[in-house]
């Protein structure tokens, strides 16, 4: 298996659709799967990448991993999709940054004869092979239920959103709000602020929210953040304000820093997806489709609530701190 970069991809594009061995007999070319994440910086996407590499090695296909750095750079992701569409790829697996803005690039790829699989975050379209992702709405409800339990069904809570147009986090946010609404004693103090796609943006937005809600004076008792960058940005802001561990806090996804904060009691719980499995099943499902197999329309990769009490269980420990070195060398 070879993980291809842009320069190698250009060479692939120049090659014909069939390869000829030394005896001159034409053979079908090796499949090239392009995988386009929302971003490439966060630990979540590194785990997705590792799972995709594992599947590509098992299946004997080549993998191109290409995406924007920031998780709010819609224009860059559209450019990546359009660039890849013009190359000699066998299929595209895409995690759309925007459920509407990416519809046309996906439609263009399909018209060009390239099958498209959607992973992690849904697309406002039905023109794709399969959707491989967490049940994000349920993940948000899991977070809301746990926060309600921690607070005894009482008190004010706030949520920091990621950015508009991201179907995955929007579903988590709605799930959280619906669960909180099921507890009459709970009040949503703030749920309309967006962090943007970077941890720095999340940190600044978190600082502003803590000030606006008078968190240091007891104005908010619980917090929910819907992804890795918002969770980390809020953690930093709570630490700087001397409020870490004093306000109940449930986040989403993980990294080494978030796992340490969970152990230290600065975070009460994390809702974990299975990003390695998302990457693995995305490649496996797309290749199965290309090779003529029947695939499921929707594949749920699961979500788990992790607390200090269960974080050392072997299966959960692997999700919290996956060993990616063997795949991402």
CATH code, 295 = 3.40.50.2300
Same-domain status, 12 and 51? yes
Residue that has been written with the tokens 């759309």 in this structure: 96
Tokens of 318: 């692997």
Please count the structural domains in the chain: 2
The pLDDT of residue 140 is above 80: yes
Same-domain status, 100 and 209? no
pLDDT at 1: 44
Same-domain status, 266 and 157? yes
Residue 260: other Cβ atoms inside 10 A: 14
Same-domain status, 114 and 170? no
| Beta pairing class for 116-119 and 62-65 | unpaired
Tokens of 328: 């991402």
The mean per-residue pLDDT over the stretch 273-300 comes to 97
The pLDDT of residue 20 is above 60: no
Which domain range does residue 145 map to?
136-272
Decide: 206 and 215 in contact? Cβ < 8 Å.
Answer: no
Same-domain status, 51 and 160? no
Name the band, by pLDDT with cuts 50, 70 and 90, for residue 35.
Answer: very high
Establish if 329 belongs to a structural domain: no
The pLDDT of residue 130 is above 90: yes
Same-domain status, 145 and 261? yes
Name the band, by pLDDT with cuts 50, 70 and 90, for residue 321.
Answer: confident
The pLDDT of residue 64 is above 80: yes
Establish if 262 belongs to a structural domain: yes
Name the band, by pLDDT with cuts 50, 70 and 90, for residue 248.
Answer: very high
| Beta pairing class for 131-133 and 91-94 | unpaired
Q: Which helix (H) or strand (E) holds 34?
A: strand 32-36
Q: Which of 11-25, 148-162, 218-232, 278-292 has the lowest mean pLDDT?
A: 11-25
* 56 half-sphere exposure, CB direction, 13 A CA radius: 27
When the pLDDT of each residue in the chain is averaged and rounded to a whole number, the result is 91
Single pTM value for the model: 0.86
State the maximum Cα–Cα separation within the chain, in Å, rounded to a whole number.
79
The pLDDT of residue 158 is above 70: yes
pLDDT at 305: 98
The pLDDT of residue 212 is above 50: yes
Residue that has been written with the tokens 């659709």 in this structure: 17
Read off the DSSP letter of residue 292.
T
Question: How many Å apart are CA 83 and CA 190, to the nearest integer?
Answer: 40
The pLDDT of residue 53 is above 80: yes
The pLDDT of residue 73 is above 50: yes
pLDDT at 42: 87
pLDDT at 28: 59
Same-domain status, 71 and 108? yes
C-alpha 149: how far from chain center: 26
pLDDT at 101: 95
Same-domain status, 113 and 171? no
Cα-Cα-Cα-Cα dihedral of 245, 251, 253, 258, to 10°?
A: -20
pLDDT at 29: 78
Could you tell me how many residues make up the chain?
329
What b/e sequence results for 231-259 when a residue is b if at least 16 CB atoms lie within 10 Å of its CB, and e otherwise? bbbbbbbbeebebbeebbbbbbbbbeebb
Same-domain status, 268 and 140? yes
Same-domain status, 57 and 105? yes
What are the contacts of 103-112 at 24+ separation with CB within 8 A?
Answer: 105/78, 105/81, 106/81, 108/82, 109/81, 109/84, 109/85, 112/85
| Beta pairing class for 248-252 and 3-4 | unpaired
């Amino acid at each position: 298996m070879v993980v291809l970069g842009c320069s190698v991809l250009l060479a692939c594009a120049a090659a014909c659709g069939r390869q000829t061995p030394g005896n001159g007999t034409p053979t079908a070319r090796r499949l090239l799967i392009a995988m386009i994440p929302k971003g490439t910086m966060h630990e979540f996407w590194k785990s997705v990448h590792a799972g995709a590499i594992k599947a590509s090695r098992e299946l004997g296909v080549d993998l191109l991993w290409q995406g924007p750095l920031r998780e709010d750079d819609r224009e860059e992701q559209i450019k990546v999709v359009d660039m890849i569409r013009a190359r000699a790829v066998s299929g595209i697996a895409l995690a759309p940054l925007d459920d509407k803005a990416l519809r046309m690039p996906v439609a263009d790829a399909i018209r060009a004869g390239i099958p498209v699989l959607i992973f992690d975050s849904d697309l406002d379209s039905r023109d794709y092979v399969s959707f491989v992702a967490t049940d994000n709405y349920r993940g948000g409800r899991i977070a809301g239920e746990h926060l309600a339990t921690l607070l005894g069904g009482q008190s004010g809570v706030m949520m920091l959103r990621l950015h508009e147009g991201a179907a995955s986090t929007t579903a988590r946010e709605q799930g959280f709000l619906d669960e909180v609404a099921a507890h009459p004693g709970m009040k949503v103090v703030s749920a309309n602020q967006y962090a943007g796609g970077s941890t720095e943006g999340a940190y600044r937005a978190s600082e502003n929210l803590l000030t606006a809600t008078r968190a240091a004076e007891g104005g908010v008792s619980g917090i929910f953040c819907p992804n890795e960058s918002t969770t980390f940005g809020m953690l930093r802001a709570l630490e700087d304000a001397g409020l870490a561990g004093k306000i109940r806090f449930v986040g989403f996804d993980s990294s080494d820093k978030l796992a340490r904060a969970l152990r230290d009691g600065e975070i009460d719980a994390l809702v974990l997806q299975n990003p390695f499995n998302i990457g693995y099943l995305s490649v496996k499902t797309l290749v199965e489709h290309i090779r003529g197999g029947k695939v499921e329309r929707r594949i749920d990769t699961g979500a788990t609530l992790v607390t200090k009490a269960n974080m050392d269980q072997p299966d959960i420990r692997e999700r919290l701190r996956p060993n990616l070195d063997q795949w991402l060398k």
